[in-house]
């Protein structure tokens, strides 16, 4: 009897993490699951990222598959409650693992996986991931790295049923070296991944402040009515304004420090950007962003 109870408890523990995913309709035929604007923790199971799905006549197109197999499975269940359709495609916006570790679940469902060249270059089967190091084994169970079926090198037009999706890398390096945006021209919906953050500070650990600002200009030019970011709850045009203000302040503050011969070892004490101190993850990320911006701008010539 005791062994049977222990077995039942083990089975329950393997399925214990519940993401409580509730899809929110952000535009006609477009729903998103919004994660909390915080770091990856055991408590949130990596649910600090936004993932979305577009409903077409042939099936769903998923934009970013999320942080684990369990997350993707629960997202799929929620999608089926809206309409019983297969997932035809999954498009990963970039190669940071919170955005694509659910790929394995959708691969099992027969979806075609699409992503950037940096996913193909940087993501290898069996490699350790940030998510795996932080969340519990039970939360991470069944999560596996799988190859993409289609690599988008620069741009690609995808038609699913009557729905058109324009997939494009705007600049060489912004948040990463392989950021994709997905635009639905029919209803002017734009998925920008981590090119834009809201409700929290961005991260430049793999990116460029100059490239990020160039990408922002190109996003503005698209004049989308709905903009879904990789993190944060806001989906209107104000998300561009907030991100742009931070990046401009970061660039100008670091450039001024360089012009005044502040060393890289002292720059984080000088450029604090305290006007943004009330934003989520300011303490965790701002100093690192300042340091990374200094390394980029130290030998940058804006006239070149």
Which helix (H) or strand (E) is 247 found in, with range?
A: helix 238-259
Phi/psi of residue 27, each to 5°?
A: -160, 170
pLDDT band at 300 (very low <50, low <70, confident <90, very high): confident
Contact by Cβ (8 Å): 233, 52: no
Contact by Cβ (8 Å): 111, 89: yes
Phi/psi of residue 100, each to 5°?
A: -135, 0
pTM of the predicted model, to two decimals? 0.93
pLDDT band at 99 (very low <50, low <70, confident <90, very high): very high
CB atoms within 10 A of CB 132: 16
**In the chain, where do the E strands start and end?**
24-27, 30-33, 51-55, 60-63, 87-91, 112-116, 150-152, 155-160, 163-168, 181-184, 189-197, 226-231
pLDDT recorded at residue 133: 97
Task: Tell which wins on pLDDT, 113 or 8.
Answer: 113
pLDDT band at 86 (very low <50, low <70, confident <90, very high): very high
| C-alpha to C-alpha distance for 301 and 214, rounded to whole angstroms | 15
Q: What percent of the chain has pLDDT over 90?
A: 92
pLDDT recorded at residue 3: 53
Residue recorded with tokens 């940030």:
130
Strand-pairing partners, residue 166, are 157, 183
Tokens of 248: 């401009």
Under DSSP, the state recorded for 274 is G
What tens digit of pLDDT does each residue of 1-47 get?
A: 445 544 444 444 455 699 999 999 999 999 999 999 999 999 999 99
pLDDT recorded at residue 9: 43
Tell me: pLDDT of 196 over 80: yes
Positive or negative: CA dihedral 114, 117, 119, 120: positive
In residues, how long is the chain? 304
Parallel, antiparallel, or unpaired: how do β-strands 112-116 and 87-91 relate? parallel
What tens digit of pLDDT does each residue of 254-278 get?
A: 999 999 999 999 999 999 999 999 9
Q: Which residues contact 4 (CB under 8 A, 6 or more apart)?
A: none
pLDDT recorded at residue 12: 43
Tokens of 226: 């709905």
pLDDT band at 304 (very low <50, low <70, confident <90, very high): low
Average pLDDT of every residue of the chain: 94
Residue 171 exposure: Cα atoms within 13 Å on the Cβ side: 19
| C-alpha to C-alpha distance for 193 and 266, rounded to whole angstroms | 32
Tell me: pLDDT of 93 over 50: yes
All domains in the chain, ordered by first residue: 19-237 (3.60.15.10), 245-304 (no CATH)
| C-alpha to C-alpha distance for 83 and 92, rounded to whole angstroms | 23
pLDDT recorded at residue 6: 46
């Amino acid at each position: 009897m005791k062994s049977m109870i222990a077995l039942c408890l083990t089975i329950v523990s393997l399925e214990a993490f519940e993401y409580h995913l509730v899809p929110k309709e952000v535009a006609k035929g477009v729903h998103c699951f919004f994660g909390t604007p915080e770091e990856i923790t055991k408590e949130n199971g990596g649910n600090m990222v936004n993932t979305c799905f577009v409903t077409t006549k042939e099936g769903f197109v998923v934009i970013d598959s999320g942080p684990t197999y369990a997350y993707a499975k629960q997202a799929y269940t929620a999608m089926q409650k809206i309409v019983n359709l297969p997932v035809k495609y999954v498009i990963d916006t970039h190669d940071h693992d919170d955005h694509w570790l659910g790929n394995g679940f959708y691969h099992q469902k027969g979806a075609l996986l699409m992503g950037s060249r940096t996913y193909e270059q940087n993501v290898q089967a069996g490699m350790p991931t940030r998510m795996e190091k932080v969340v519990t084994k039970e939360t991470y169970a069944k999560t596996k790295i799988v190859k993409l079926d289609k690599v988008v090198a620069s741009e690609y037009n995808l038609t699913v049923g009557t729905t058109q999706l324009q997939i494009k890398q705007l600049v060489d390096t912004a948040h990463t070296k392989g950021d994709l945006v997905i635009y639905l021209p029919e209803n002017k919906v734009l998925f920008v991944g981590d090119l834009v953050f809201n409700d929290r500070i961005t991260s430049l650990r793999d990116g460029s402040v100059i490239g990020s600002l160039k990408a922002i200009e190109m996003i503005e030019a698209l004049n989308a009515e709905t903009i879904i970011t990789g993190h944060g709850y806001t989906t209107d045009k104000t998300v561009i304004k907030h991100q742009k203000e931070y990046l401009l302040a970061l660039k100008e503050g670091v450039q001024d420090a360089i012009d005044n011969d502040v060393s890289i070892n002292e720059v984080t004490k000088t450029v604090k950007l305290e006007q943004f101190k009330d934003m989520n993850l300011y303490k965790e990320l701002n100093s690192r962003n300042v340091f990374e911006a200094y390394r980029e701008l130290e030998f940058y010539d804006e006239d070149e």
